[in-house]
Structure 1
Amino acid sequence: MLTFELSKTAPKLLNNRFSVLHTPRHYYILIYIVLFINSAFLYAQDLPNKNDVNIPVNTEVEGDTTTVNLTPVLTERVTIATDTVKNDSIKKKQEFLTGVVDYYGEDYVFMDQVNQKIYMYNKAYIVYGDMRIDAGLIVLDYNTNEVFAKGIDSAGAYTQRPVFVQAQNKVEPDSIKFNTKTEKAIIYNSRTEQNGFNVLAEVTKKENDSVIYLRNVRFTTSTNLEDPEYYFYTRKAKFVPKKKIVTGLTNMYIANVPTPLGLPFAYFPLTEDRTSGFIIPSIGDTNERGFFFQNGGYYFAINDYVDLAVLGDYYTNGSFGLRGEAGYALRYKFRGNLNIRYENLINSERGFDDFSQSTIYNIRWNHNQDTKANPSSRFAASVNLGSSQYFRQSINQTNNASGLVNTLSSSVSYSKTFETEPQVNISTAATHTQNTNTQEINMSLPNVNASVSRIFPFAPKTGVKKGALHNINFQYDVTAENRIQTTDSLFFKPEMFEGAELGAQHSIPVSTNFKLFKYLSASATTSLRETWVGNTTNRFYDEATDAVVIDTLKGFDRYFTYNFSTSIGTTIYGQFNLGDDKKIQKLRHVMRPSVSYNINPAFDQYYEELQVPTADPDVAAEVVEFSRFENTLYGAPGKVYSSNVGLSLSNTLEAKVRDKDTTATEAKKIVLLNNLNFTTAYNLAGDSLPWSPLRFTGSIPVIEKLDVNFNGSLDPYALDNSNNRIDEFNINNGGSLFRLTNANVSINYSFSSKDLEKKQDGDETSRLDDETFANGGRPDDLFGNSQDIGKGNLFKDDDKDKSNVDQAWYNFTIPWDLRLAYTITYGNQQRQNEISSQSLMFSTNVELAPRWKVGASSGYDFTNKGVTLTQLRFQRDLESWQMSFNWTPIGAQNTAWYFFVGIKSSVLSDIKYDKRREPDRNL
């Protein structure tokens, strides 16, 4: 056994292409190793010395009487040769082995000098540069320029198959033979991976670095190479590394059984980079629109930073849809995506009474700037706008949760910070909100905000600010906005800009804070505000029409307002020691009471009076008071003087309990009551009903991930017989101290089998990747799970490696999850004493068996006494395939089902079968 610098660390082996056969240089290594070691045993002829001209020659031949003298001839020939041939005319070849060579055989390394071969046996390998060969037996035949590597066949088991690795390329055949002179190779039973394909060929012949021929080839995405559940079989194939595989007649086999599915030839692109190409559509039929071609189109790989997919749908009744989906990214700068969808929907047939035609669209754009790109400026976009009925009428999605979303919102913003003293911040944005039920749209196009950071004019240059004078500060804020209110039918039309309102507000808040009597914190604030508007209104009485006419006046106008407020508060701690031997050792009650006072003057100077004649002879005219700033962007200033005293109290209750862990040295802290807040106010300037209702909010943590949230209002005043509030306390009217006028209780709970296991750190799925969340809905599946047409994944596959899954009939670690949401609303403003809404929603997913998953989302409306929208989900993991069924049996117009079976791998994602029933849009 001979060992040179045995490597302790094997190089990383990665599956890739047949590019291992691109160059024969690594096989020359094996030949030159032998030549280098055995150079002492080889013979060579030196060139004659140029000084030895006369060479003695034996010219006599025994048994021949004739003697011939050849000396002159030889002398002449040698003289000519020495005159014309130089000793250094043949340059020495550069040594090929310029690096360290490691080779090894655990049992032996045998050198056969007679047959000029070297044998390395049992766990043999050779390493040179980035090349490594591992095999049971490696034979170097430098007489025939061949290298042969194979495994070991022992007791009927073939082990230590050859493994050839160069850089990131890897091939695992049964045996390999390579000729270093002709640069050709024969590989038997090779196994390799190419862009998600596992390629198994009985015989592989390498002609050169760019052409390889294969015979009896199987292509599959299955990870079980010994017994794949499916594969494509072809007798002949041509393989061009990193470019393509072209085959002859190809058949699909399932469980080693040939199927009638086949092609006369097949083409598999193997480029590592993204390439442009056609996207094969899905084919099916519907009852309403006939046969269809769906999600077909073309993918444009524009460059490394931008790509684009243009997709389309066509139905035989004339309906069609178009979509453009683009993604872009620049590392450390930004990333985003843009989706534009348009559908022209035709129902029934032309000439029938139920014929209808409509167009719907949706535009979605998300742009995120990397925080490292520019710390002083930021651009962001989150756009979701379009037809109000898009997610309810679209024929190219089954997304129940998005259909339940009632609001679409958008925002495109840019902000810039100027690091001056004081700091200046400027931001501009365009916003959009859309109610899908009322089809009302509110847009701010654009709005601009600018602010100057706080300035402390009386603060000392060094040291801590103390007292009211040092803490006096002010800042400047300006907000300008162009607001547009329109409807879905007028969106993107010139009419939407006719009612635009333009305005700006400048405000300068001046405030200070200080301590009183060591334990009280006090603050005082006054705010000065200047409001600018672009339009005002005027009212006058028109005798011709006998009505008050409101006229819009174009032009700049302004008004100035101010107010004053002050507050004082403190924090009170109450602690109760119950004993260290008790289960509850300590209780702590934290109270934060505060009292505030606010003054809002009456700005009567901005109001006018209008005399309107009446038909009553006793009343000459009716006085109508109005302000020219009514119906403007920010409304009219207040005309009622108010002087309010506000009261608030915040409570938190905590406890220290004995830890169940006997090794714990400290007690465990838990929260019993979280932020129980009470607020009310008293109007000193009011002539009746001065007390405002007492509002309360709070949260009670029950167990981990389960909080009971509640809020409500308590009214101290009584009602008359007409259920109107009167200026009399309810307790004086024979009732309780307060009347509960409204209340709401909500409970959200999420629990899963992972909560019973040890917590492990892991990556969480980004919410932006969720289709429903991107459309403005919940990120979970409480109202159903979204599913793209042509894709069968209904559940997130958390366990990528299924090799360790327990295949027993019963598995006590069955993965499951459960989400519950309960809400109840009570109303009693006018003695109705009713539950206005009450519902319970739930969603659950259970893995019944290692490869079976089921899920359900549903709920019950106790007020309307009915089951809410229900979705049932089933999925079967077929190893390389998947099967799924999504059914919505209950849900008004959303009842539908969708069936899918197809190959998981994205390389063969077009090999699938799907069938669905669309929701009945006529309901």
Structure 2
Amino acid sequence: MQARIPHILLCICFSVSFNIHAQIDQNPLPSTPDSLQKKDIIQNDNLKIESKGIITVPRNPIVNDSVRTDTVNNAALTDIVKKEASGYQRMSKVENKMYLYDEAKIQYGDIELTAGRIILNNNNDNVFAAGIKDSTGYTQRPVFKQGSNVVEPDSIFFNYKTKKALIYNSRTQDGELNIIAEASKRVNDSVYYMRNAKFTTSEDVDNPEYYFLARKIKFVPDSKVVTGLVNMYIADVPTPLGLPYGFFPLADKQSSGFIIPSFGDNRNRGFFLQNGGYYFAISDYVDLKVLGDIYTNGSYGLRFDSNYAFRYKFNGRVSLRYEKLFIEERGFPNFSEQQIFNFRWNHNQDQKANPSSRFSASVNLGSSQFFRQSVNQTNTGNFLNNSFNSSISYSKTFEGEPGMNLNISATHSQNTNTEQINMTLPTLQFSINRIYPFEPKFRAKKGAIENINLQYNLRGENRIQTTDSLFLKPQMFDDLNAGIQHSIPITTNFKVFDHFSVSTNLNYQETWVFETFEPFFDEESQTIARDTISGFDSYRTYNVSASVGTTVYGMFNFGDDKKIKAIRHVMRPTVSYSINPGFDQYFEEINIPGVGTTPDRTRQVSRFDGTLFGAPNPNFASSMSFGLTNDFEAKVRKKDTTLTGDEAYKKVKLLSNLGLNASYNFAADSLKLSPISLRGNIPLFDEKVNINIIGALDMYALDSNNRRINTLNINNGGSLFRLTRANVSFGYRLSNEDFTKEEEDEDEEQDEEEDLNNDTFLSGGRPDDLFGSGDPLNDRLNPNGKKDKPKTDDNEFYNYKPPWSLNLQYAMTYNNSARQNEISSHSIMFSGDIELSPRWSIGGSSGFDLVDPGFTFTQLRFSRDLKSWQMSFNWRPIGNQRSWFFFIGIKSGIFRDIKYDKNREPDRRLN
């Protein structure tokens, strides 16, 4: 059971090592079992046992008026015994016993015993301790301390010479586990016995929802645990779930073990066993979990998961999943089969490991249909995601003058709809930091000459474009495209008229390729074909640009007695000019013969077309660009009227990053003005809602074929601008915490960090539940993917304020570039959760498409907190993913295999 039972029993046995906190039982001291006879420890005692099991001692009329402290030296003892009591102390010379009553205390070496009553027998070195039973109940229970170990039973027999002990009704807690033992016996340092030991993860140990009962236990430290019958009780009702006996070797480290599978039936594949396997505790730094699924129709799946960590160095996780799936049985007309796999690797390097170099990896690749077809992977965020992305990179910084940087990376991008894959294996980037050749040595740089700087950048890349069907096959390397590009940017900046910043740039590029293409006209196909030419080739380009910008501030004051004191407007205009020479020397003209009445025509092509970085631009360009960014802020009076001065006002953003950009190409023969792009952000409700606006305006008109012509739209009977594209989007999250005065920022930051580590986000999905949350099949410990928050209010059902949250996302896209005048996409998505009571919660995720009316992916979630147990039901009522999932199980990770789940999988059709 994945090394859980040895851990549980080890925790139980720790209780007899005096890591115990006792509880008050209605019957504090049961009769002693035959196997745990008191005569093994105590002899010649005149104690009496009452009918209710409380050991009593006759009171002595001699009572001391004050606390008395004394010491006793005994030749049989190796240390001084110190004793004291608030009630009385009586020494019986005939019995050779010491009686202590009321707040009694004995100290012997590192042993300290306090209780309501203590009897010290000097004949056999035995000590008996118990509480005081009176009209108020059972008080002053014994507390036994030895070093850092503490035990608080109902009563205890202890021999301070042999160190043997009998303990009744003890309780201990180790992590999530609570253990209650009816009787425990310590024979020596090597052997311990327990009787009727209960262990549970329930917080209410007096009335646990469930527990496991072990009748007899023998524990040998650092060696083994032997148990008798162990079975599970639910609400004190025994169940058949258990073991007749057990023998478990013990180790103080994690250990390997079997993982029990779940069973069920699938309408397409028959009966199955899922998630069964073995856990390998390889070392303190790495582990491995191997799981498998098997179905009666022949389908099967394998999963390998490994976590590794090296403190202050690195940590990571590797996961490989493979499934071979069949629909129906062989020979049936609708039989189909498919092989799918997924590989994930996340590696993080500690920042303190090496400040000058860093290695990181985030890999998610495999079959495009894995998350949609996998039987045992139904994570909502994963199968709604349309792309896989991976990146592995190593970076190195070389200290010195000038500093240098090296980065080697491999990337992967995969579209799960088109099944197209783009990879770089690898990409090498090398750069030399900025060098200021004219920088003065003893003062700051001034002017254009002293600010001249240059860099060197190198980029080399191997690019592969392939498909799912050719992935990891030799054919995927047939179209490998490689190239190296060098660039040397030379820049300088200076001030003009104290308010304008001027920057100039000269950029030189040299491109190397190892394969070019010779174009020719193929008369058979009447198209331009290419022959591949292997060998080194290169071309060189350059361009020059300059820009000038400034910042303009405007203030509109309304007066101190106004609610809005002032509005500030900040403008950042920029103007830039660039020259890009035409490099037509790398092009040649190919004559394309006309057909029929169609005349011959020529076309410019280059041998660098189709190479990694493409061919240079053959057309000369001389263009000027314009840009303007605006920000509007207001000073608004706060609601608190007692504040004065600047404290009485707060800054509120009205418009943020409202800007436009356009360019004008002087060298073009027509259509010189580019469309004007617009952008802006409107913050609302204290910036909790940010409305993002993107648009494009075109000044040119369209002809009858909806193509741009060199005529202004206003001269063609239209308006000054044509709105060709627009997009509006915003998101808003609202919860009950927004209406409370106290904000728990630390908890929110912790929740966000946990969300970024969930399985959905690491697989490329969203960290929130906007597209639905994971289901119990993928999150055994917590079906809703949320950590339980401790409830501190004992009266949690009274004056209960249900926590709730609502997440909204809205997006609309408008297209009119060719007179479509249509809204191409228009949708709203929402998700929410509410706790109807401290134990009941419901939630849902859905959306609505306003273009093609209908609901998008919809999920309803129901959860019931059963204290130590968790029950949940997830339902997808509509769409291609119609399914439901039911789960009930113990929350604790120790007993995660004690669960029941049932699901109806979505309809699937294999390719």
Q: State the TM-score, normalized to the length of structure 2.
A: 0.88
1:711 aligns with 2:711: no
Give, in angstroms, the shift of residue 178 of structure 1: 1.4
Please say which of residues 153-162 and 669-678 is displaced more in the overlay: 153-162
The aligned counterpart of 1:759 is 743
1:687 aligns with 2:669: yes
The aligned counterpart of 1:853 is 841
From the superposition, tell whether residues 179 and 514 of structure 1 become closer, same or farther in structure 2 (CA, over 3 Å).
same
1:743 aligns with 2:721: no
Superposed counterparts of 1:25-174, under 5 Å:
37-39=71-73, 96=79, 105-107=85-87, 115-124=95-104, 132-155=112-135, 157-166=137-146, 169-174=149-154
Residue 840 of structure 1 is aligned with which of 828, 843, 867?
828
From the superposition, tell whether residues 637 and 274 of structure 1 become closer, same or farther in structure 2 (CA, over 3 Å).
same
Q: 3-state SS of the aligned residue for 1:605? A: helix
Residue 476 of structure 1 is aligned with which of 425, 444, 456?
456
RMSD of aligned Cα (Å): 2.6
From the superposition, tell whether residues 572 and 804 of structure 1 become closer, same or farther in structure 2 (CA, over 3 Å).
same
Q: Which whole-Å CA distance do the structure 2 matches of 1:861 and 1:910 have between them? A: 41
The aligned counterpart of 2:893 is 906
Give, in angstroms, the shift of residue 610 of structure 1: 2.1
Residue 658 of structure 1 is aligned with which of 634, 637, 651?
637
Please say which of residues 193-202 and 365-374 is displaced more in the overlay: 193-202
The aligned counterpart of 1:642 is 621
From the superposition, tell whether residues 682 and 118 of structure 1 become closer, same or farther in structure 2 (CA, over 3 Å).
farther
Please say which of residues 610-619 and 879-888 is displaced more in the overlay: 610-619
Give, in angstroms, the shift of residue 786 of structure 1: 1.5
The structure whose Rg is larger is 1
Write the letter of the residue equivalent to 2:844: A
Structure 1: unaligned runs, 5 residues or longer:
1-14, 25-33, 45-92
Q: Which whole-Å CA distance do the structure 2 matches of 1:900 and 1:280 have between them? A: 16
Q: Which whole-Å CA distance do the structure 1 matches of 2:534 and 2:147 have between them? A: 75
Aligned 8 A contact 1:19 1:169 in 2: no
Give, in angstroms, the shift of residue 499 of structure 1: 0.5
Aligned 8 A contact 1:533 1:632 in 2: yes
From the superposition, tell whether residues 662 and 243 of structure 1 become closer, same or farther in structure 2 (CA, over 3 Å).
farther
From the superposition, tell whether residues 459 and 107 of structure 1 become closer, same or farther in structure 2 (CA, over 3 Å).
farther
Give, in angstroms, the shift of residue 798 of structure 1: 4.6
Give, in angstroms, the shift of residue 102 of structure 1: 8.2
The aligned counterpart of 2:658 is 676
The aligned counterpart of 1:188 is 168
Give, in angstroms, the shift of residue 115 of structure 1: 4.5
Give, in angstroms, the shift of residue 242 of structure 1: 6.0
Q: Which whole-Å CA distance do the structure 1 matches of 2:94 and 2:627 have between them? A: 103
Please say which of residues 165-174 and 550-559 is displaced more in the overlay: 165-174
Write the letter of the residue equivalent to 1:699: N
The aligned counterpart of 1:572 is 552
The aligned counterpart of 1:533 is 513
Please say which of residues 346-355 and 243-252 is displaced more in the overlay: 243-252
Give, in angstroms, the shift of residue 533 of structure 1: 0.6
Residue 875 of structure 1 is aligned with which of 838, 856, 863?
863
Write the letter of the residue equivalent to 2:864: R
Write the letter of the residue equivalent to 2:835: E
Residue 479 of structure 2 is aligned with which of 499, 509, 517?
499
Give, in angstroms, the shift of residue 349 of structure 1: 1.0
Q: Which whole-Å CA distance do the structure 1 matches of 2:478 and 2:107 have between them? A: 78
Q: Deviations over 1:741-799 (max 9, x none)?
A: 11011111112222333123233333442111111111100001013527162335555
Q: Which whole-Å CA distance do the structure 1 matches of 2:906 and 2:18 have between them? A: 59
From the superposition, tell whether residues 271 and 110 of structure 1 become closer, same or farther in structure 2 (CA, over 3 Å).
farther
1:699 aligns with 2:687: no
1:921 aligns with 2:900: no
Q: Which whole-Å CA distance do the structure 2 matches of 1:500 and 1:465 have between them? A: 47
Q: Deviations over 1:226-257 (max 9, x none)?
A: 11122223433333446665432334322222
Q: Deviations over 1:368-402 (max 9, x none)?
A: 00000000000000000000000111111221211
Aligned 8 A contact 2:407 2:429 in 1: yes
Please say which of residues 355-364 and 744-753 is displaced more in the overlay: 744-753
From the superposition, tell whether residues 604 and 301 of structure 1 become closer, same or farther in structure 2 (CA, over 3 Å).
same
Aligned 8 A contact 1:16 1:169 in 2: no
Q: 3-state SS of the aligned residue for 1:392? A: helix
Q: 3-state SS of the aligned residue for 2:287? A: strand
Please say which of residues 833-842 and 722-731 is displaced more in the overlay: 722-731
The aligned counterpart of 2:394 is 414
Aligned 8 A contact 1:20 1:166 in 2: no
Q: Deviations over 1:699-740 (max 9, x none)?
A: 111114211111010111122232222222222222222111
The aligned counterpart of 1:60 is none
The aligned counterpart of 2:711 is 728
Write the letter of the residue equivalent to 1:368: N
Aligned 8 A contact 2:218 2:227 in 1: yes
The aligned counterpart of 2:381 is 401
Q: Which whole-Å CA distance do the structure 2 matches of 1:626 and 1:479 have between them? A: 25
Q: 3-state SS of the aligned residue for 1:766? A: helix
Please say which of residues 622-631 and 529-538 is displaced more in the overlay: 622-631
Please say which of residues 898-907 and 164-173 is displaced more in the overlay: 164-173
Q: Which whole-Å CA distance do the structure 2 matches of 1:724 and 1:612 have between them? A: 25
Q: 3-state SS of the aligned residue for 1:849? A: coil
The aligned counterpart of 2:56 is none
Identical aligned residues as a percent: 55
Q: Which has the higher contact order (CA 8 A, sep 6+)?
A: 2
Q: Deviations over 1:615-666 (max 9, x none)?
A: 44885x5323210000000000001111111000000000111111234441
Q: 3-state SS of the aligned residue for 2:382? A: helix
Q: Which whole-Å CA distance do the structure 1 matches of 2:871 and 2:410 have between them? A: 44
1:814 aligns with 2:802: yes
Aligned 8 A contact 1:194 1:270 in 2: no
Aligned 8 A contact 2:16 2:184 in 1: no
Give, in angstroms, the shift of residue 124 of structure 1: 4.7
Q: Which whole-Å CA distance do the structure 2 matches of 1:103 and 1:397 have between them? A: 66
Please say which of residues 501-510 and 782-791 is displaced more in the overlay: 782-791
Q: Which runs of 4+ in 1 moved over 6 A?
A: 127-130
Aligned 8 A contact 1:782 1:842 in 2: yes
Write the letter of the residue equivalent to 1:745: V
Q: 3-state SS of the aligned residue for 1:769? A: coil
Structure 2: unaligned runs, 5 residues or longer:
1-9, 20-67
Aligned 8 A contact 1:805 1:850 in 2: no
Aligned 8 A contact 2:815 2:824 in 1: yes
The aligned counterpart of 2:31 is none
Aligned 8 A contact 1:18 1:170 in 2: no
Q: Which whole-Å CA distance do the structure 1 matches of 2:153 and 2:241 have between them? A: 29
From the superposition, tell whether residues 20 and 617 of structure 1 become closer, same or farther in structure 2 (CA, over 3 Å).
closer
Aligned 8 A contact 1:17 1:170 in 2: no
The aligned counterpart of 1:791 is 780
From the superposition, tell whether residues 687 and 505 of structure 1 become closer, same or farther in structure 2 (CA, over 3 Å).
same
Q: 3-state SS of the aligned residue for 1:772? A: helix
Give, in angstroms, the shift of residue 258 of structure 1: 2.8
Aligned 8 A contact 2:365 2:388 in 1: yes
Q: Deviations over 1:398-450 (max 9, x none)?
A: 21211011110111110111101000000101111001111111110001000
Give, in angstroms, the shift of residue 135 of structure 1: 3.2
